[in-house]
Structure 1
């Protein structure tokens, strides 16, 4: 058969398969679309407007809106190019090289964050105390799309602050500008090495020893030789690290520790574009990378210091005191990251509800009241945590800029461990709810929610568990004036509530006052051991509620849109969440504490402890008889 020019024969089977394929796509679930993570957020724009002057608000919000587009494009593309780091310890000649290989995506994320002013924004202080708010809002909207890059950057931030406060003139001249630079070609990152094998987070058992080298000289300060083993070192690909080492006698505990700056590579100051030398140039050996549950792209290693050169920061045997700025800053970073993982997971679940059809395709999830009710609970936690965390962020900015009142500085001392522990504790459960809100799709790796959950779990442990942080709050509350500074601020917020609002939430205000009374009672010495952990939750629920109330009052006073929403968020957070349960838990823990502790031990260990005690008593009796 002759085929005319321009005529294409029809393949019936191909045409039929195309129709079937198209029909399949028409029946498939519609993909959801996430909006700009700043402009579509239900909290950040309004919160920024309350905290900032009009000029600062315009400039910061413009940058955050632009950056939101960067998150959706550049950062997600770089994240897709990341893979787990690899350690090559020996070359083909059997020589030790300890080459740490990281991915193009990891290096690109680090460079992009440096260009975006993290850490630069914090120390340029263009918007003074609001610079902390600006930088941390950028971090919040980027956290879940940057493969834990803020872990090394948080330690860089803390190291920059310590250098700013304690560094020698040469450190401030040569190192501080690199730690805060926006130019990836010259910018440095820093690690923080405290964890060792004997004690974990208990630095009193630090084994690393520092020996002064009297004839050595460095423009960076007194030179010491460090020998020891660091069991858990994040930011192993950094340029410098801060570490504690023992300069006092072995039995001096934490009182015999000093703070040191350790160059990971020599020369410590390199020309722009010069290759990065191996850590072996300072006798630092990387023994293995840690096999973690999450944060897998982040290089974390076990390493040893073998006559490694380091420089003393601050006076001898005051290392724990001088490393405190690093701990405080990294704890704020951790809290912001926890909220950031919630933000992305909620954005996915909320966007999905707008496209997922149910009931035979006749109804979207967003029109199903039962589904929206569960999303509302998750959004409620996100709102409370965001206001809570940024309340502390603003105080951090004020303190660093020297404009905080004494009461604000004292309040920050309580808030820092609280926001870290509380946000980390709440994040995992909210992320899990977001996962289930997508049904089977939520359990798929492609959505990213499972990845968020894995990485967010690290925040429950890194820089202190809830139990460790609850003890830190106890220590802070024991300092003169600290607890009273918080109580006075809380009473001011409550009494400033307009009567028109107070009449709408009388039960919430009453319960909040009860919580404040309980807090004052709990932290009055002597403090019952079992109450310390539930006390953190009472404090955190109350403090976050106060920040929600403060925002609702502002919205009402300035005539912002939807004041009823902010007031309802406050009411639900106080009345429908776990504040009452936390109060009851604390009261229960304070009652019959010794008896309850003994029973706890029996529940956990059975008769094992009694058997050990009986065996010890028998052995002691035999020894006495022999003597």
Structure 2
């Protein structure tokens, strides 16, 4: 008896098969530099679609394990990582996924190259990019702090390509009082008679709890409440004998996704620490870290979307339904086309952000451009994170029932995507961050100029029409912001999310148009054009009329009087 056997989706070399990544690098990198780095990119692409992907599937049921006590009753709080993560740690060091960004010989292209490698690495390593993002942020924060002792002590480890010397860094900010509202942090720093600072408090959510060091916030005794009274401290988690330094791991968090990542609740009970740069304004000192971790979040959103598409596209060629492969079924084709357009938009947003950071680190941005970069980290992170969750859900649905079955390895795409709009600032927090920055100094015209510059490149008539749509969305957002300011701060805050998403999608469309015209001119390839036109069809302008009274009634589910007349 012959039984039907459905072939599973497969992956090839993820660098060779990624048209969008290769076209971006071809366009933006000097040819000699790209030739020099293509072997590493090719090798990472082969790992991501081969050995690492197979290990990820085999490692599916493994999770980190916490052993709090040894056989003789000693408190050890040992966390055992999974086989995939142990391999990922070695590869991250050897491929320089942090170190590449600090290679001065690469100039401003160091960041695009670093993120190209990380983008390939991420989908097959179950969020090992989380500790890498924090490590990158810690290295940048320490280098900018001017604390030479800490720079000499920690940075060589953070940038090492030797797995035996490589350190990752934690980022211990979240307490029970809140995540984004760090000014309410309760951790206290006390100084011993010998000058040693010690930290006391509970850190409710610390990712990468196995890292060798961490940067954390605490309030030195006597400091005022609020953000200004917090200081940034450097902590090495273990002593020379490998024992935790007055740190107790209370538990590992039981999370929806990112389950390979050892996220812990920690008790600091006299943990030795060193101030990074003075005893106040610690939140201001972590801004470089936040800019980088939000950029990592953006790039990994695009990477996750790309992985889902690669699997869905291969499956569509193999799966036959109603006498034809899914890849030839018009409605399924329409679904995949929409996913591809959203992915390409997220890719160009996130890599433009990486490009700007690379230029900024090499002193190539003017003051106004640096302010624009500050706005973009919020806009692009929130836009790409929302795209990633929607794309992951659509990707699973494209597999039908198989997308809901754990041992296909597909559901993890959705679970892990959901963290992207939550970590490093939720969508609402980042939208508020954006409008508060603009209320202090309205540099929105800088973003408008960037959009105009990119749509001006279009000579293709279809791209020109899409460019007018991008500009109209931006101008609508700018007009809304001006009117909302007149109405008062509550009106600005109530519409902040739609405002931010409109700016993000308008910018994404402009970047797609710019890339599409280049592809038509240099590659005689119309696929980037198709992505731009399809993205324009998916909706850019999210601005809507606000009625705060109606919104409050709906949010509270409170009684609302019947209108006396039809509002229309």
TM-score (normalizing by structure 2): 0.92
SS of structure 2 residue aligned to 1:87: strand
Q: Which moved more, 1:46-55 or 1:245-254?
A: 245-254
Alpha-carbon RMSD: 2.0
Per-residue CA deviations over 1:48-80 (Å, capped at 9, x if unaligned) read: 111111112222333212211122333234433
Q: Does residue 540 of the first structure (1) align with residue 504 of the second (2)?
A: yes
In structure 1, the residue matched to 2:205 is 232
Q: Give the aligned partner of residue 327 of structure 1.
A: 290
SS of 2:251's equivalent in the other structure is: strand
- Determine the C-alpha separation between the residues in 1 that align with 2:422 and 2:349: 20
**Quick one: which of 414, 418, 438 aligns to 2:375?**
414
Matched with 1:203 is 182
Conservation of the 8 A alpha-carbon contact between 2:67 and 2:78 = yes
Kindly indicate whether the alpha-carbon contact (under 8 Å) linking 1:248 and 1:256 is maintained by their aligned counterparts in 2.
Answer: no
**Helix, strand or coil at the partner of 2:420:** helix
Q: C-alpha displacement at 1:480, in angstroms?
A: 3.5
Q: Is the 8 A contact 1:228 1:305 kept in 2?
A: yes
1:468 aligns with 2:447: no
CA contact (8 A) 1:244 1:259 kept: yes
Is there any run of 5+ residues in structure 1 with no aligned partner, and where?
1-19, 217-222, 268-275, 608-627
**CA gap 1:305/1:155 in 2 versus in 1, 3 angstroms:** same
Matched, 1:453 2:432: no
Q: CA deviation at 1:602?
A: 4.1
> Which of 201, 212, 230 lines up with 2:191 in the alignment?
212
Q: Which moved more, 1:525-534 or 1:127-136?
A: 525-534
> Which residue among 495, 519, 529 is the counterpart of 2:477?
519
Rg: which structure is higher?
1
- Once the two structures are TM-superposed, the CA of residue 252 in structure 1 deviates from its matched residue by 2.4
Q: Structure 1: how far apart are the matches of 2:311 and 2:152? A: 45
CA deviations 1:560-580 (Å, max 9, x no partner) are: 222x33233222212x11223
* Larger CA deviation: 206-215 vs 327-336: 206-215
> Quick one: structure 1 residues 606 and 97, their matched pair in 2 at CA, closer, same or farther if it must change by over 3 Å?
farther
Find the counterpart in structure 2 of residue 277 from structure 1.
242
TM-score by length of structure 1 reads: 0.84
Q: 1:31 to 1:304 in 2, by over 3 A?
A: closer
Q: Does 1:310 align with 2:273?
A: yes
Q: Offset of 1:606 from its aligned partner?
A: 5.3
Structure 2, unmatched stretches of 5+, are 561-568
* CA shift in 2, pair 1:317/1:180, >3 Å: same
What is the 5 A alignment of 1:359-508? 359-360=322-323, 363-480=324-441, 482-498=443-459, 501=460, 503-508=461-466
Alignment partner of 1:299 is 2:272: no
- Indicate the SS of the match to 2:232: strand
| Structure 2 CA distance for partners of 1:167 and 1:189, relative to 1, 3 Å | farther
1:47–1:506 distance in 2 versus 1, CA, 3 Å: closer
Q: Give the C-alpha shift of residue 358 in structure 1.
A: 2.5
Match of residue 39 from structure 1: 16
Deviations 1:426-475 (A, max 9, x none): 11221122212222222222332211111111112111110001011113
How far, CA to CA, are the matches of 1:200 and 1:241 in structure 2? 17
Structure 1 match to 2:564? none
Alignment partner of 1:72 is 2:35: no
What is the distance in 1 between the residues matched to 2:312 and 2:105? 36
Distance 1:29 1:601, change over 3 A: closer
**Match in the other structure for 1:559:** 522
**Mapped contact 1:158–1:326 kept (Cα < 8 A):** yes
- Spell out, residue by residue over 1:369-419, the C-alpha distance to the aligned partner (whole angstroms, 9 max, x if none): 221111101111001110111111100111112222333322211111122
